[in-house]
């Protein structure tokens, strides 16, 4: 049997070689595609999406906490600090890093003066960063550090501190926990007192640690120091006298303002009840308001000075002209105007001295409504005084075309118009300045951290954002008329006037009492039991240094008159202010002392001035 032999078809070897190469190329292609996909994905994740993932990583590992900066200081005219920001510690944690949260809450609660239950609920938060308590006192920080609780950390912040406590609290205002001005000057000048915020990065490394974030250092020159015209000593005098005086007559509240007469600088602005901005949360909102600029009241007889000044300046009446005061009862339309006591004929000066409503109404109605309204606005009523105080009210003044005869008569003696205390003292200060109305102001200048002083700030367009310091005065009445009014006002504090007890030995005091009924909305008429009592004036009358106003709200009868409730407060403030500023007496009093052994002798007036004794004559 012959051997058989397998014969391979032609081309088989070539086919096997092709098949192997094809499979190899396919595998290599697949591998190549996978590599390209991996490289593409890597490029996408690391290059294209890298910043996004880096941001997400930072969000998981870090938190940027922005803290408020140290605010600029506030100084009085003598360089005494009224407001300053002091460094304090603020407590924070990552709740997930705390062990035994309830036990931590119990240990912290007495120090933080809160309930352990409330604190434990707070620590249940799932947030990676939690403020436990901000702006702790140094004593609280030390007590917490002694506990040595892992996971509790501190960040540095600043807390606003008012060294004088309640002094000028309503004027200064206060700041919140984020160092934002929330009232008074702190609010009104927040953009300049408040610097750029400070940023901290909180990093997670098992526990938290902090490091300052790198930032532009230009922020250092964005915060300014505020320099005021206020005199701390005189402010204390005004607040003390006001508090004592309002309590004495059992009034509800009161306001006292003292201006430097020649310039319009606000030297004191007192409110009672007052409040301590260090503890502002303990007071209701009404007590935090600066009533000297925000509250409106009807000025009563103090407004008669404006009425008489307007009529004299217009040439409608003369200083010696007499008016019949109707023996205390005068009918205008359907209303009856009364005086506190009956008077017959009075000269114009006596209308001020005796404070006759009836004759004041007759003088006011000698002018047309348009004439009278024009003078009222020139004296600053119906508009803000531009004193630079936030929240200042404009008051309420009817347009002249809406006046009835009753409105016209009422306005003449200070009823039917709402004014702020600051408007009244600024108006009377125009008499003290011989007819020139000077805008009152409280900010003398701003100072940046380089020591440069600023009296103006501008926006990008060049418009004035704020102006500090004195402003241009405007003439309201002639100098000769202002001098006549001064003489009339001096007679108020002399024998025969309504405020003889205001007299201060050695000085001529120009003043005017005011008593006005409050309008009772519930009755729809003026109340017979609620009054505003006030006194306004300046001294020394020949060369005024101070112009002051005192207003007492709702002193009960029989102390509801301005002469009884407000005038004694005015006298105490003015007497101490004259002594404080070393204002020389105009007419030194001479006290005659007689003894059997010696002839009459004159004692030097300065001796009695120094010990506060009054003239015995």
pLDDT in tens, 171-180: 999 998 777 8
Report which of 566, 572, 498 is spatially closest to residue 539, judged by C-alpha positions. 572
**pLDDT given for residue 16 in this prediction:** 63
**pLDDT given for residue 94 in this prediction:** 84
Residues 421-445, mean pLDDT to the nearest whole number? 97
The residue with greater pLDDT, 42 or 125, is 125
**Rg of the chain taking only CA atoms, in angstroms:** 38
Identify the band that residue 601 occupies on the pLDDT scale cut at 50, 70 and 90. Answer: very low
Identify the band that residue 571 occupies on the pLDDT scale cut at 50, 70 and 90. Answer: very high
**pLDDT given for residue 242 in this prediction:** 98
Cα distances from 385 to residues 126, 189, 380, 423, in angstroms, run: 53, 17, 7, 7
Residues 144-159, mean pLDDT to the nearest whole number? 85
What confidence tens digit (pLDDT) does each residue in 531-570 have?
A: 999 999 999 999 999 999 999 999 999 999 999 999 999 9
**pLDDT given for residue 9 in this prediction:** 59
Helix/strand/coil percentages in the chain, nearest 5: 40, 25, 35
**pLDDT given for residue 61 in this prediction:** 55
Of 27-41, 216-230, 385-399, least confident by mean pLDDT is 216-230
| Average pLDDT value over all residues in the chain | 85
Determine contact, residues 232/167, Cβ cutoff 8 Å.
Answer: yes
Report which of 330, 395, 396 is spatially closest to residue 365, judged by C-alpha positions. 330
Which range has highest mean pLDDT (54-68, 111-125, 133-147, 252-266)?
252-266
The residue with greater pLDDT, 424 or 54, is 424
The residue with greater pLDDT, 51 or 467, is 467
What confidence tens digit (pLDDT) does each residue in 503-519 have?
A: 999 999 999 999 999 98
Report which of 209, 198, 9, 2 is spatially closest to residue 85, judged by C-alpha positions. 198
Residues 6+ apart with CB under 8 A from 56: none
Identify the band that residue 3 occupies on the pLDDT scale cut at 50, 70 and 90. Answer: low
Whether the model clears a pTM of 0.95, i.e. scores above it, the answer is: no
Domain-wise residue ranges, the chain: 64-228, 232-438+473-586, 587-617
Q: How far apart are CA 331 and CA 327, in angstroms?
A: 12
> Which fold, 64-228?
Penicillin-binding protein 2a (Domain 2) (3.90.1310)
Strand partners, 154: 91
**pLDDT given for residue 90 in this prediction:** 86
The residue with greater pLDDT, 197 or 334, is 334
**pLDDT given for residue 147 in this prediction:** 86
Q: How far is CA 422 from the centre of its chain?
A: 13
Q: How far apart are CA 242 and CA 261, in angstroms?
A: 20
**pLDDT given for residue 186 in this prediction:** 94
What confidence tens digit (pLDDT) does each residue in 261-282 have?
A: 999 999 999 999 999 999 888 8
How many other CB atoms are found less than 10 A from the CB of residue 203? 14
Backbone angles phi, psi at 382, to 5 degrees: 80, 10
What confidence tens digit (pLDDT) does each residue in 355-399 have?
A: 999 999 999 999 999 999 999 999 999 999 989 999 999 999 999
**CATH top class, domain 232-438+473-586:** alpha beta
């Amino acid at each position: 049997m012959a051997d058989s032999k397998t014969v391979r078809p032609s081309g088989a070897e070539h086919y096997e070689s092709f098949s192997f190469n094809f499979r190899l190329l396919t595998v290599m292609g697949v591998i190549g595609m996978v590599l390209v996909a991996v490289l593409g994905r890597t490029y996408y994740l690391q290059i294209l999406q890298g910043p996004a993932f880096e941001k997400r990583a930072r969000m998981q590992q870090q938190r940027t906490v922005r803290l408020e900066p140290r605010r600029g200081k506030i100084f009085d005219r003598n360089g005494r600090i009224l407001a300053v920001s002091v460094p304090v510690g603020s407590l924070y944690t990552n709740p997930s890093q705390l062990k035994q949260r309830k036990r931590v809450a119990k240990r912290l609660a007495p120090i933080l003066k809160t309930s352990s239950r409330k604190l434990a609920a707070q620590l249940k938060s799932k947030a990676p960063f939690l403020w436990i308590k901000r702006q702790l006192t140094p004593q609280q920080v030390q007590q917490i550090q002694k506990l040595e609780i892992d996971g509790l950390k501190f960040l540095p912040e600043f807390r606003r501190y008012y060294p004088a406590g309640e002094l000028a609290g309503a004027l200064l205002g206060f700041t919140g926990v984020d160092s934002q001005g929330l009232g008074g000057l702190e609010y009104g000048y927040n953009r300049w007192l408040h610097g750029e915020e400070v940023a901290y990065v909180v990093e997670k490394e098992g526990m938290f640690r902090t490091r300052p974030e790198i930032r532009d250092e230009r922020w250092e020159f964005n915060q300014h120091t505020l320099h005021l015209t206020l005199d701390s000593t005189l402010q204390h005098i005004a607040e003390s006298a006001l508090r004592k005086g309002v309590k004495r007559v059992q009034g509800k509240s009161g306001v006292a303002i003292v201006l430097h007469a020649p310039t319009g600088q606000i030297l004191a602005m007192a409110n009672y009840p007052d409040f301590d901005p260090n503890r502002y949360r303990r007071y209701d909102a009404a007590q935090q308001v600066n009533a000297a600029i925000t509250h409106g009241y009807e000025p009563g007889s103090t407004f008669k000075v404006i009425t008489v000044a307007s009529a004299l300046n217009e040439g409608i009446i003369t200083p010696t002209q007499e008016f019949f005061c109707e023996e205390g009862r005068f009918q205008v339309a359907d209303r009856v105007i009364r005086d506190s006591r009956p008077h017959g004929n009075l000269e114009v000066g006596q209308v001020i001295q005796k404070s006759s409503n009836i004759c004041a109404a007759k003088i006011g109605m000698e002018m047309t409504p348009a004439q009278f309204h024009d003078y009222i606005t020139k004296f600053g009523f119906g508009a803000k005084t531009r004193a630079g105080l936030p929240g200042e009210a404009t008051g309420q003044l009817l347009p002249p075309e809406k006046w009835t005869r009753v409105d016209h008569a009422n306005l003449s003696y200070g009823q039917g118009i709402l004014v702020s205390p600051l408007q009244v003292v600024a108006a009377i200060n125009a008499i003290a300045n011989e007819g020139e109305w000077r805008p009152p102001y409280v900010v003398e200048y701003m100072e940046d951290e380089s020591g440069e002083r600023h009296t103006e700030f501008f926006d990008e367009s060049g418009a004035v954002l704020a102006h500090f310091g004195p402003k241009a005065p405007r003439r309201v009445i002639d100098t000769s008329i202002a001098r006549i009014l001064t003489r009339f006002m001096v007679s108020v504090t002399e024998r025969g006037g309504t405020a003889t007890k205001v007299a201060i030995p050695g000085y001529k005091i120009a003043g005017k009492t005011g008593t006005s009924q409050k309008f009772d909305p519930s009755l729809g008429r003026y109340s017979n039991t609620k009054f505003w009592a006030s006194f306004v004036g300046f001294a020394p009358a020949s060369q005024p240094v101070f112009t002051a106003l005192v207003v007492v709200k709702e002193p009960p009868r029989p102390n509801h008159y301005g002469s009884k409730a407000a005038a004694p407060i005015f006298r105490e403030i003015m007497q101490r202010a004259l002594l404080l500023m070393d204002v020389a007496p105009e007419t030194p009093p001479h006290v005659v002392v007689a003894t059997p052994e010696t002839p009459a002798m004159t004692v030097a007036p300065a001796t009695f001035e120094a010990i506060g004794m009054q003239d015995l004559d």
